[in-house]
Structures are given as C-alpha cells and as structure tokens.
Amino acid sequence: MNIIILAVLPYLTIAVFVAGMVFRIYSWWKTPQPGALTLFPAPKGSTATFFGVLKESLFFPSLFKGDKALWVFAWVFHATLALIAIGHVRVFTDFPRLWATLGINADRMSAVSGGIAGVIITVAVILLLFRRISIGRVREISGLPDYLALVLILAILVTGNAMRFGEHFDLTLTHTYFSQLVTFSLSTAALPSNPMFVIHFFLAQLLIMFIPFSKIMHFGGIFFTQTLIQRA
Ligand code: HEM
C-alpha cells in the first residue's frame, strides 16, 4: 500500500492535476466574454485592473460587502493556508545557510508558526463546515462536492497537526524521498514509513487531483472574472 501511495500515486496526481488544469483553463478561455466589449463607461486601464484584481484576491472586498461573518472565516482560512503552504517548502528542501545568515532557528520558528497556523486553520474549517450544515439557505445550495472538499481538507489538517504536535517528525526523510521522487530514482529504503505522513500525503494527493474539477478552482476563476468586472 505504501508503495502505491508513495511511489505510484504522486506521478498520477501530477498528470491528473496538469491535464485537469489545462482543460479547465482552456474551457474558460473559450467561453464568450461579453464584459470585454464594454465601451461605456470607458474600461479601466490595465494598471487599475491589475491592482483591482490584486486587492480582490488578497482581501476579498466583494465578500466583505456581502457577508461579514463568512468573510472572517474565509479570510482567516486562506491567510493561514498561505502561511502553511510557505511553511511546507521545508518539507521538500531546506536553506540552512539562509537561516544561519539571518540568525534564525528555523525549527523553532516553524514549530511555533506552523503550530499556531495549524490550529487556527482547523478551527476556521470546522466553522466553515458548521456554517454549511447549520444555516438553512446555505445548506440548500450545498452539494456533496462542497462537503467533500471541506471534510477532506479537515482530515489533511488533523493529520498534519498530529505530525506537528505528536512525536518529532524528521524532515530529512521527506527531503531524501522527494529528491528521489523528482529524479525518478526512488529506492524503497527512502519511502517514509510514518503512518501519519503516509495518510496526510495520500489525502493531500486526493485533494490535488480533485482541485481542477471542483469549486476549489475559484482561485483561478477569480483572475478571469475579476479582470472583466474590474475593466467594466
Ligand atoms: C504534497 C503534499 C503535502 C505534503 C508532502 C505534506 C507534508 C507535511 C509534513 C511532513 C508535515 C509535518 C511538518 C513538521 O512537523 O515539521 C505537515 C504538516 C502540516 N500540513 Fe502538510 N503536506 C502536504 C499537503 C498539505 C495540505 C494540502 C494541507 C492543507 C490543506 C496541509 C496542512 C498541514 C498542516 C496544517 C500541518 C501542521 C502545521 C505545519 O506543520 O505547518 N498539508 N505536512
């Protein structure tokens, strides 16, 4: 089972993700864009459009106007997710010279920031899930894929936190494993056997494959639709 999850699935995950993204972006590209024809009032210039899209993607002002409570949960979720994504760079590689130059104890820093971010994001996801279940009008428009995405993310967070707060997880194991994985030179000795890691990585791969076909793709759609809205 470990061999399938750690030595076969990662290549399949990349293939499904890339093919799915290409297909999704191509279908957006081909969709007629009536907003692009706006002549009056004059469309905004490209600099104003750029900053408009940037503001929308960093601070979600439209959501803030529409639903303040959802804005809080959603913004906290995305901000901590961004922090965790940056932190995950150390799962794949490390920069000991950079930390030494900056005088930073990277292990301690990531233990504190990763630990805090991991707890905050888990609370945010539980609240997002609770919102879908408890508010009638939200429940009505929620489908199975909406719940599936949240439950999958929650399971990834719980297993990630278990690694962070449980027995020390040695990141040199993942450095060796991923460097062999990307150079197509995997040896069975390099496969991490920590069950929490195997489950976490398995669920993360499911999520990555699911992204192009799900509403999680809204992060790509925002650049298309917001460009049109900002220009109009
Ligand atoms: C390629 C996919 C991924 C790999 C290989 C991976 C690997 C890891 C590892 C090894 C840790 C333990 C770090 C430590 O204790 O020092 C960890 C922690 C964590 N992971 Fe992941 N992960 C992946 C994807 C994700 C995703 C998609 C999410 C969120 C949706 C996530 C959320 C977390 C959280 C919340 C923690 C605990 C806090 C932290 O250490 O940052 N992971 N992950």
The highest-level CATH class for domain 44-231 is: mainly alpha
Contact (Cβ atoms closer than 8 angstroms) between residue 221 and residue 28: yes
Q: Mean pLDDT over all residues of the chain?
A: 89
> Is 30 strand, coil or helix?
helix
Ligand 1 pocket, mutate which of 86, 108, 163 (most atoms under 8 A from CB) = 163
Contact (Cβ atoms closer than 8 angstroms) between residue 131 and residue 70: yes
Of 44-53, 133-142, 148-157, 211-220, least confident by mean pLDDT is 44-53
Q: What is the pLDDT of residues 174-186, one digit of tens each?
A: 999 999 999 999 9
Ligand 1 pocket, mutate which of 77, 84, 93 (most atoms under 8 A from CB) = 84
Give the Å distance between the CA of 66 and the centre of ligand 1.
32
pLDDT of residue 215: 86
How far is Cα 143 from Cα 167, in angstroms, rounded to an integer?
37
Ligand 1 within 6 A of 78 CB?
Answer: no
pLDDT for residue 232 is more than 80: no
* Token output for 26: 């191509």
Pick the atom of ligand 1 nearest to 197's CA: 10
